């Protein structure tokens, strides 16, 4: 029963006494509900409330347990009134003062609980606001950190662009393909080395030659892996592939790995590769028209690493820069006045790596020849 139901006496609401029977309760409810029914009192805004109170009073009094508790409460209330009526004025004042203190205590306790709830809500609001501000600061710090890392990464990437790439084991090796009907003299590694030596020093002892089909059958075509001692010779041979003026008509010369070395790409990117003799931009696929006499070493630094029998010419191969970077020294940003020392491609480690790679390529060529036969 709600507080409103406790303040209203159901017996008084229905107009009956505490000793009324169930039938009297039903009869009293029927009579009074007809008077306050909302359908009969459409203009009365309190009609629905009064009708609801009557219905609640009837249900309470028809429930034996709830009616028993109500009767006990009413009897205690009447007994308290009777005792109070017998008190003298002084005692009545004491009772009233005690009751007033109880009411004040209850009100203070209620107010205290209300204040506690308000403080708890305020603390929760402040904590939520603090969490929100902390998350915003963390997101801002994370964003700044990401921006800083991105700037560092870009700066490092720009610095890496200035550093020449490492030299691969086959960057100075080319693959030569030809038909024996057009070039019957190219049946040995020495003849192939002599043909390509015009572009630079060739490592004759490491040339791998494969004839298809293999003797004693009459070979029809040949494939060779020719390692140059310097990358300039390999680049000149690739650029002169198929050109009759370089005696490479009907001869296909390509990089051993089937792609341009990273060092050549880096030189192009840095603008270190000049123009060919015919004025075209030098690329891995261009065909320079320079004569064999013009396709010499590029600078004194680079030529010093070549065999003593080779003499640098004043007409340097125009598709290459004047010097090559030295990967063993600290990289420097390319400038108009800074020259990078030449590369040493004859170190023992690189030779071993090239030898192992050539053996692997030779095995692959022989396996393909066996499959084709």
Q: How many CB atoms lie within 10 A of CB 369?
A: 15
Worst-scoring range by mean pLDDT, 252-256, 258-262, 312-316?
Answer: 312-316
Strand bridging mode 173-179 / 252-255: antiparallel
Instruction: State in words which class domain 3-86 has.
Output: mainly alpha
Residues in the chain: 373
Where are the chain's structural domains? 3-86, 94-162, 173-329+339-372
Structure-token pair, residue 141: 């710090």
What pLDDT, on the 0 to 100 scale, is given for residue 307? 38
Domain 3-86 and domain 173-329+339-372 have a common topology:
no
| Spatial distance between the Cα atoms of 324 and 313, rounded to a whole number of angstroms | 17
* Long-range Cβ contacts of 327-331 (<8 Å, 24+ apart): 327/164, 327/166, 327/167, 331/162, 331/163, 331/164
Note the CATH architecture for domain 173-329+339-372.
2-Layer Sandwich (3.30)
pTM as predicted: 0.38
What pLDDT, on the 0 to 100 scale, is given for residue 80? 81
Residue 210's DSSP bridge partners are 223
- Between 264 and 349, whose confidence is greater? 264
Q: Report how far apart, in Å, the C-alpha atoms of 349 and of each of 304, 307, 346, 353, 355 are.
A: 20, 19, 8, 6, 10
At 2 the three-state DSSP class reads coil
Q: Nearest 5°: phi and psi at 138?
A: -65, -40
What share of the chain in percent tops pLDDT 90?
21
| Spatial distance between the Cα atoms of 319 and 286, rounded to a whole number of angstroms | 10
Q: What is the DSSP string of 111-165?
A: HHHHHHHHHHHHHHHHHHHHHHHHHHHHHHHHHHHHHHHHHHHHHHHHHHHHSPP
Query: Under a CB-based contact definition with an 8 Å cutoff, are residues 241 and 287 in contact?
Result: yes
Rg (CA), the chain: 54
Confidence check: pLDDT of 5 > 70: no
Answer positive or negative: Cα dihedral of 207, 211, 212, 215.
negative
Q: What is the pLDDT of residues 213-230, one digit of tens each?
A: 777 777 778 888 899 988
Q: What is the pLDDT of residues 270-322, one digit of tens each?
A: 766 644 333 333 443 444 433 333 333 333 333 333 333 333 333 434 344 44
Examine residue 216 and say whether the peptide bond preceding it is cis (omega within 30 degrees of 0).
yes
Q: What is the pLDDT of residues 124-181, one digit of tens each?
A: 999 999 999 999 999 999 999 999 888 888 777 665 566 677 777 788 899 988 888 8
Q: Which of 181, 271, 192 is nearest to 219 (CA)?
A: 181
């Amino acid at each position: 029963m709600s507080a409103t139901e406790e303040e209203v006496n159901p017996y008084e609401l229905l107009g009956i006494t505490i000793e009324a029977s169930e039938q009297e309760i039903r009869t009293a409810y029927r009579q009074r509900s007809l008077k306050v029914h909302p359908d009969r009192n459409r203009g009365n805004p309190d009609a629905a409330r009064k009708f609801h109170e009557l219905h609640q009073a009837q249900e309470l009094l028809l429930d034996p347990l709830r009616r028993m508790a109500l009767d006990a409460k009413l009897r205690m209330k009447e007994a308290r009134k009777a005792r109070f009526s017998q008190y003298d004025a002084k005692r009545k004042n004491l009772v009233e003062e005690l009751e007033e203190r109880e009411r004040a205590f209850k009100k203070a306790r209620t107010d205290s609980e209300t204040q506690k709830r308000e403080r708890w809500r305020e603390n929760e609001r402040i904590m939520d606001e603090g969490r929100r501000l902390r998350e915003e600061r963390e997101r801002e710090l994370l964003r700044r950190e990401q921006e800083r890392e991105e700037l560092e990464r870009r700066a490092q990437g720009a610095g890496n662009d200035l550093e020449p790439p490492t030299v691969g084991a086959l960057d100075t090796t080319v693959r030569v393909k030809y038909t024996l009907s057009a070039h019957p003299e190219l049946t040995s590694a020495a003849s192939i080395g002599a043909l390509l030596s015009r572009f630079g020093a060739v490592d004759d002892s490491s040339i791998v030659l494969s004839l298809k089909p293999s003797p004693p059958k009459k070979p029809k075509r040949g494939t060779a892996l020719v390692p140059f001692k310097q990358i300039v010779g390999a680049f000149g041979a690739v650029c002169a592939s198929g050109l009759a003026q370089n005696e490479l008509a009907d001869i296909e010369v390509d990089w051993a790995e089937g792609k341009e070395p990273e060092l050549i790409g880096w030189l192009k990117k840095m603008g270190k590769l000049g123009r060919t003799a015919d004025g075209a931009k030098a690329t891995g696929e261009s065909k320079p028209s320079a004569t064999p006499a013009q396709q010499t070493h590029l600078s004194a630094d680079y030529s010093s690493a070549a065999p003593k029998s080779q003499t640098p010419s004043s007409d340097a191969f125009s598709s290459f820069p004047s010097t090559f970077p030295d990967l063993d020294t600290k990289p420097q940003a390319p400038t108009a006045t800074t020259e990078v020392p030449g590369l040493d491609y004859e170190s023992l480690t690189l030779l071993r790596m090239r030898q192992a790679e050539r053996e692997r390529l030779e095995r692959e060529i022989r396996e393909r020849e066996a499959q084709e036969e």
